[in-house]
C-alpha cells in the first residue's frame, strides 16, 4: 500500500511523532519566555508504545515517519528509538526535525542508528538576532550541527526558516545566497497567525524578492529533494542548493496535498495541526489494545481529517496546545 485514503481521496502515508514537549530554546512562535507546563514523564509515550503505534500505522500503509518535539534530541537515548523504528517493516523513510543545537554531538550516531534525513530549524544567520528569536542558545552550535550532519552523510540537510515581518525578513536574500555558497536547501515557511508573535510574509512576496538574485526555476522530482510534502521547490541558476516555499496561508491547494497525521507526546493522534480533534491512543495502548484495535483508531482519525484548515485571509485560529505540545 502507498497510504490510507481519507474522505477526500488524499493518500495519508506520513506520520509526525512528537517524542517530547521539552525544548532547550524558547522560540517566539513556539513558547512563551517562561516555557509551558511540562507533561509528567508518565504521560509521555514510551519508546515501546511509539514502536507499537508505528507498527500498526505501517501495516495500514504509513511509510514515512518524522520525529519532532519540542526538541527531540533532549529526549534521552533518542538513537535507540531510531534504531527500533528503522527496523519496522514498511517504513521507507525515517527523518528528524531539530533546532540543531545538539546535532554536532549526535549526527553520526543518528546516521548509524538508521535515520534517513535531517531538517534543521534556523530563522536567522545573525548571532544577536538568534538570541532574540530563540531567547536561548547560540547560532554557532546550530551552524556546526548542520556541518556535522553533512559530514555524517545526511543529504539533503534541509533548513526550515519561518519568516516574520520586521524580525528576520531582511535576511531572505542572505538565506537564498546560501544555496549558492554552501549548497543549502532552504525552505521558507509562512508563519502561522497566532496572536502576539509577528506578521507573516506571503510566499509570493518572498519569491519576488529572491528574483533579484535571478530567475527561480521549478525543481523536477527527479533530483531527490522535492519528496511529497508541502513545499514547492525552486532553484536559482547555477545554485547547488534549492529554495522551497511552504505556504499554508496563501496557497489555495495547500491542504489538498496534505498527506500527514500528528502524534502528540502524550499519545493523541491529531488529524490536522489547527483543529482540536484528537484521538487518544495512549489509553488503549496501556489497556493492552490489540493491533487491530489500534488500526481501527488510526483509520478513524484519518476518516475525520478535514478537507482544509480555516486560515484563509490570515484569520487567527487559537488552539489550546502550544506548538511544542503538538509537534512542529
55: left (phi over 0), alpha (psi -120 to 50) or beta: alpha
Determine the Cα–Cα distance for residues 254 and 308; give it in Å rounded to an integer: 8
Q: Residue 327: its pLDDT value, please?
A: 62
> Under CATH, to which class is 4-326 assigned?
alpha beta
How far is the C-alpha of 146 from the C-alpha of 239, rounded, in Å? 18
> Residue 1: what pLDDT?
45
The radius of gyration of the chain from alpha carbons, rounded to an integer in Å, stands at: 19
User: In tens digits, what is the pLDDT along the chain, a chain of 328 residues?
Assistant: 468 999 999 999 999 999 999 999 999 888 878 878 899 999 999 999 999 999 999 999 999 999 999 999 999 999 999 999 999 999 999 999 999 999 999 999 999 999 999 999 999 999 999 999 999 989 999 999 999 999 999 999 999 999 999 999 999 999 999 999 899 999 999 998 766 678 899 999 999 999 999 999 999 764 556 565 788 999 999 999 999 999 988 988 888 989 999 999 999 999 988 777 899 999 999 999 999 999 999 999 999 999 987 665 445 454 555 555 566 6
pLDDT value for 326: 66
Q: What are the grid coordinates assigned to 269, written together?
A: 493522534
Per-domain residue ranges of the chain: 4-326
Alpha-carbon gap, residue 235 to 202, rounded angstroms = 19
Q: Are strands 232-236 and 242-246 parallel, antiparallel or unpaired?
A: antiparallel
Residues 250 and 144: their CA atoms lie apart, in Å, by 34
C-alpha cell at 127: 548571532
The pLDDT of residue 321: 56
Task: Provide the 3-class DSSP secondary structure of residue 51.
Answer: helix
Q: How far is CA 130 from the centre of its chain?
A: 20
All cell numbers assigned to 136: 536561548
User: Which contiguous run of DSSP H or E holds residue 222?
Assistant: none
Report how far apart the first and last C-alpha atoms of the chain are (Å, whole number).
Answer: 26
- Is residue 281 within 8 A of residue 46, CB to CB? The reply is no
Q: Which three cell numbers stand for residue 211?
A: 528574483
Phi-psi region of 227 (alpha: psi -120 to 50; beta: other; left: phi over 0): left
Strand partners, 200: 164
Question: What integer pLDDT is reported at residue 225 of this predicted model?
Answer: 64
Q: Give 210's Cβ-side CA count (13 Å radius).
A: 31
In eight-state DSSP terms, residue 72 is G
All three cell numbers of 34, joined, read: 517562561
Which pLDDT score is estimated for 36? 81
Q: What does the alpha-carbon distance between residue 121 and residue 327 come to, in Å, rounded to a whole number?
A: 13
Please write the tens of the pLDDT for every residue from 22-75: 999 999 888 878 878 899 999 999 999 999 999 999 999 999 999 999 999 999
Q: For residue 81, what is its C-alpha cell?
A: 528509538
Q: Which residues are CB-contacts of 139 (< 8 A; sequence separation ≥ 6)?
A: 124, 125, 126, 127, 130, 131
Indicate the DSSP class of residue 223.
Answer: G
Smallest Cα–Cα separation from 243: which of 232, 251, 227, 252? 232
pLDDT of residue 220: 77
The pLDDT, as a whole number, for residue 252 is 81
**Cβ neighbours around 111 below 10 Å, total:** 18
Amino acid at each position: 500500500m502507498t497510504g490510507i485514503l481519507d474522505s477526500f481521496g488524499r493518500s495519508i502515508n506520513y506520520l509526525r511523532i512528537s517524542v517530547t514537549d521539552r525544548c532547550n530554546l524558547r522560540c517566539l512562535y513556539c513558547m512563551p519566555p517562561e516555557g509551558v507546563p511540562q507533561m509528567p514523564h508518565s504521560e509521555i509515550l514510551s519508546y515501546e508504545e511509539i514502536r507499537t503505534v508505528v507498527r500498526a500505522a505501517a501495516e495500514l500503509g504509513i511509510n514515512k515517519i518524522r520525529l519532532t518535539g519540542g526538541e527531540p534530541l533532549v529526549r534521552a537515548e533518542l538513537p535507540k528509538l531510531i534504531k527500533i523504528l528503522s527496523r519496522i517493516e514498511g517504513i521507507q523513510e525515517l527523518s528528524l526535525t531539530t533546532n540543531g543545537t545538539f546535532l554536532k554531538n549526535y549526527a553520526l550516531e543518528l546516521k548509524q542508528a538508521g535515520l534517513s534525513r535531517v531538517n534543521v530549524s534556523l530563522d536567522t544567520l545573525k548571532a544577536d538576532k538568534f538570541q532574540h528569536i530563540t531567547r536561548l542558545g547560540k547560532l554557532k552550535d546550530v551552524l556546526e550541527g548542520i556541518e556535522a550532519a553533512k559530514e555524517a552523510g545526511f543529504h539533503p540537510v534541509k533548513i526550515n526558516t519561518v519568516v516574520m515581518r520586521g524580525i528576520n525578513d531582511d535576511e531572505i536574500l542572505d538565506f537564498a545566497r546560501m544555496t549558492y555558497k554552501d549548497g543549502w536547501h532552504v525552505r521558507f515557511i509562512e508563519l502561522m497567525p497566532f496572536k502576539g508573535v509577528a506578521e507573516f510574509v506571503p510566499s509570493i512576496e518572498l519569491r519576488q524578492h529572491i528574483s533579484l538574485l535571478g530567475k527561480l526555476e521549478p525543481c523536477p522530482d527527479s533530483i531527490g529533494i522535492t519528496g511529497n510534502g508541502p513545499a514547492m521547490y525552486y532553484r536559482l541558476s547555477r545554485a547547488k542548493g534549492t529554495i522551497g516555499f511552504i505556504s499554508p496561508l496563501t496557497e489555495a491547494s495547500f491542504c489538498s496535498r496534505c498527506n500527514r497525521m500528528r502524534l502528540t507526546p502524550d499519545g493523541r493522534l491529531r488529524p490536522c495541526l489547527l483543529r482540536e480533534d484528537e484521538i487518544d491512543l495512549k489509553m488503549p495502548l496501556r489497556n493492552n489494545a490489540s493491533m487491530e484495535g489500534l488500526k481501527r483508531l488510526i483509520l478513524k482519525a484519518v476518516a475525520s481529517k478535514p478537507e482544509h484548515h480555516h486560515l484563509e485571509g490570515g484569520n487567527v485560529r487559537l488552539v489550546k496546545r502550544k506548538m511544542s505540545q503538538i509537534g512542529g
